[in-house]
């Protein structure tokens, strides 16, 4: 039997390659798909005799062009994107030299590896389902490249291969579940940096006029939260991310200089370290767990103030919580918040200095206004009330489309000229007025509110929930949250952004088919999101702690011996189950059509008085039958010749050959 790949086998291989490479095109250069189609198309032309096999010079030139394209794509080396693109190039170009079945099998095995590789880009339920489809197609291709010329039609071959592939993968499912549940959850032994060009989503580490309102026009999911007890009121759902202390006249920033994530970790561990003694726990605890989407940034948004946190995270003196590296995959956090806790009743001097800093010049009208209001009030609380009253009594408006304020004196331009802004405008100007009067204050950015999912009993926080507010330090009370946006648009914190900008109709204005705009579509969207949350929580979020809790519930007292016995018992049960299933359901192999026709041919000759003995070769029996039945001699010899041709020298014309056998058999009967 020939070991060369057939034309049909090459079609299977091309289909498998296309299915595997498609999901990578969302993250990697899209020109990889034309490269694959070109390589596979050339191979198909070679198999059909329309083109010559590419030589070594041609292969070298094509590989050089592919590597050149990789270098021109702007991918950073080393990075996951660069390594994945290089592997996909090899996966595509391998089609040029697929001659024998072993070459095709190598390509298919690379495809299996690429299916696993794609989970580094997405761990969503959709990606998992697509991965399962890819596995079925690859396994079907593995069956297809092993097949010689078949009696089945093309449609029958496709159904047979796919059915066999599904059955083979289903046999692996119980074993896969056991390994997933019981295999130790080790940290990766090595890591490859992700490309710095990958999009960073969500709130940035600085805030200028116009930044947050751009983010608030997106309906993308930021994170989901499930509460262990009673859900807090909507107006109390402030999810703190970053504290911005430095103002340069145009934008608010975390620190005076830029830090990358590693320098920021060092700063938090040295100068801005979390001090548990700085918070006085009081009031009712709010335990919750949050699952954050991949954002390319390390910020974790927690219910302010979060006092207790489980997991390997970083915490700062400003009550922020950070992951130890950028989020390139969903991240599970378990925490406890105390909304009534008192923070920093004694304010450290370095925090006071940060909370009072202003540029030496600029925004003169705002500075003058602060001095005037302070003279009229004389104490911090009265001054705060006076500033908030100014926002509510004058012609200030809350809008997603504020006018531009320029690069200088932006506080003056907002407070005295435009008076139209988003939360960032109100929070930034409020903190400026506080500091100008000598009251420690800072800008906090994060999210406010969220959409409650009744089906899943969790809160979904989207990018349009992005928000900025202020914190002021008051003697005897510590840090106090003040949201100046509520003085202008109280519906923002009570009912969400959609209600706050309903009059101007700008909520998700660019998202024509957003589920939030279509009632029945929103219901379906919530149901689907519930399924996705379950996947994130119980599959992607299955870590060491979850595994330890599950094993403790199953075994009572945890021990390696008990786990080993349980796993060995499950393996034995799976093996016994499949032995029984295969033994009870396995059918005898189906008799090939040509053999069935030959058996009927022999039975027809027996009716004419010529009996074939067991073990007699078809050619020997044909010579004997032709001698005994001279009237049928030509038919007997032709039938035997066609039959032996199908058995020992199959060709692409197998279906015509079996039809010829049927016609000759009719003449014998």
- Grouping H, G, I as helix, E, B as strand and the rest as coil, residue 469 is strand
Instruction: Give the torsion sign (CA, 547, 541, 449, 477).
Output: positive
d(CA 612, CA 385): 110
Catalytic pick from 205, 423, 425, 529? 423
d(CA 90, CA 63): 8
Contacts 24+ apart (CB under 8 A), 490-496: 492/398, 492/423, 492/448, 492/467, 493/234, 493/235, 493/448, 493/449, 494/234, 494/235, 495/234, 496/234, 496/449, 496/451, 496/465
Active site residue 483: yes
Q: Which whole-number Å values give the CA distances from 141 to 218, 494, 578, in the listed order? A: 41, 56, 24
Phi-psi region of 551 (alpha: psi -120 to 50; beta: other; left: phi over 0): alpha
Active site residue 235: no
Residue 473 burial (C-beta neighbours within 10 Å; 0-12, 13-18, 19+): buried
Phi-psi region of 74 (alpha: psi -120 to 50; beta: other; left: phi over 0): left
Radius of gyration of the chain (CA): 36
Tell me if 203 sits within 8 A of 241, measured CB to CB.
yes
Cis peptide before 586 (omega within 30 of 0): no
Active site residue 258: no
Tell me if 526 sits within 8 A of 455, measured CB to CB.
yes
Order across the sheet with 313-315: list the strands.
Answer: 299-300, 321-323, 313-315
User: Catalytic site residues?
Assistant: 423, 467, 483
């Amino acid at each position: 039997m020939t070991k060369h790949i057939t034309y049909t086998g090459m079609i299977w291989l091309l289909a498998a390659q296309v299915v595997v490479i498609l999901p990578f095109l969302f993250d990697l250069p899209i020109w990889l798909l034309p490269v694959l189609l070109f390589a596979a198309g050339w191979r198909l032309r070679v198999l059909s005799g329309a083109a010559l096999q590419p030589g070594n010079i041609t292969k070298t030139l094509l590989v050089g062009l592919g590597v050149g394209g990789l270098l021109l794509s702007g991918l950073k080396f080393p990075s996951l994107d660069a390594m994945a693109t290089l592997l996909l190039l090899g996966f595509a170009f391998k089609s040029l030299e697929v001659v024998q079945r072993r070459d095709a099998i190598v390509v298919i095995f690379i495809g299996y590896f690429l299916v696993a590789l794609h989970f580094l880009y997405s761990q969503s339920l959709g990606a998992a389902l697509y991965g399962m489809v890819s596995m079925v197609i690859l396994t079907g291709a593995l069956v297809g490249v092993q097949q010689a010329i078949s009696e089945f039609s093309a449609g029958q071959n496709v159904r047979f291969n796919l059915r066999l592939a599904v059955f083979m993968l289903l046999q692996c499912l119980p074993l896969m579940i056991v390994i997933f549940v019981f295999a130790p959850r080790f940290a990766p032994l090595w890591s490859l940096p992700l490309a710095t060009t990958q999009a960073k989503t969500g709130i940035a580490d600085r805030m200028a006029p116009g930044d947050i309102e751009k983010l608030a026009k997106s309906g993308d999911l930021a994170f989901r939260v499930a509460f262990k007890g009673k859900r807090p009121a909507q107006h109390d759902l402030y999810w703190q991310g970053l504290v911005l202390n430095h103002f340069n006249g145009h934008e608010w920033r975390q620190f005076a200089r830029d830090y990358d994530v590693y320098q920021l970790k060092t700063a938090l561990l040295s100068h801005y370290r979390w001090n548990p003694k700085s918070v006085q726990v009081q009031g009712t605890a709010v335990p919750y767990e949050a699952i954050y989407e991949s954002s390319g940034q390390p910020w974790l948004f927690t219910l302010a103030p979060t006092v207790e946190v489980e997991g390997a995270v970083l915490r700062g003196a400003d009550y922020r919580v950070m992951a130890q590296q950028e989020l390139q995959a969903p991240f599970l956090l378990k925490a406890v918040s105390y909304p009534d806790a008192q923070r920093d009743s004694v304010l450290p001097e370095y925090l006071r200095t940060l909370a009072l800093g202003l540029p030496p010049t600029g925004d003169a009208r705002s500075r003058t206004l602060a001095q005037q209001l302070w003279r009229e009030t004389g104490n911090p609380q009265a001054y705060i009330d006076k500033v908030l009253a100014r926002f509510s009594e004058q012609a200030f408006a809350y809008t997603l489309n504020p006018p531009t304020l320029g690069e200088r004196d932006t506080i003056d331009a907002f407070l005295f000229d435009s008076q139209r802004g988003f939360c960032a405008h109100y929070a930034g100007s409020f903190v400026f007025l506080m500091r100008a009067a000598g009251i420690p204050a800072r800008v906090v950015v994060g999210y406010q509110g969220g959409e409650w999912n009744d089906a899943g009993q969790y809160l979904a926080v989207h990018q349009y929930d992005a928000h900025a507010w202020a914190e002021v330090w008051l003697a005897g009370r510590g840090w106090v949250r003040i949201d100046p946006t509520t003085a202008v648009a109280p519906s923002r914190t009570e009912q969400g952004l959609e209600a706050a900008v309903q009059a101007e109709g700008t909520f998700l204005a660019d998202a024509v088919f957003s589920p939030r705009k279509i009632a029945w579509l929103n219901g379906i969207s919530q149901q689907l999101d519930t399924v996705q949350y379950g996947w994130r929580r119980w599959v992607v979020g299955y870590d060491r702690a979850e595994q330890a809790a599950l094993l403790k519930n199953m075994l009572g007292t945890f021990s390696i011996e008990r786990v080993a016995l349980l796993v060995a018992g499950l393996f034995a049960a799976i093996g016994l189950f499949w032995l029984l299933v295969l033994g009870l359901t396995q059918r005898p192999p189906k008799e090939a059509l040509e053999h069935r026709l030959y058996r009927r041919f022999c039975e027809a000759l027996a009716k004419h008085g010529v009996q074939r003995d067991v073990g007699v070769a078809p050619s020997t029996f044909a010579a004997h039958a032709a001698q005994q039945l001279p009237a049928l001699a030509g038919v007997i010899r032709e039938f035997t010749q066609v039959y032996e041709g199908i058995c020992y020298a199959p060709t692409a014309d197998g279906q015509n050959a079996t039809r010829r056998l049927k016609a000759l058999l009719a003449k014998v009967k």
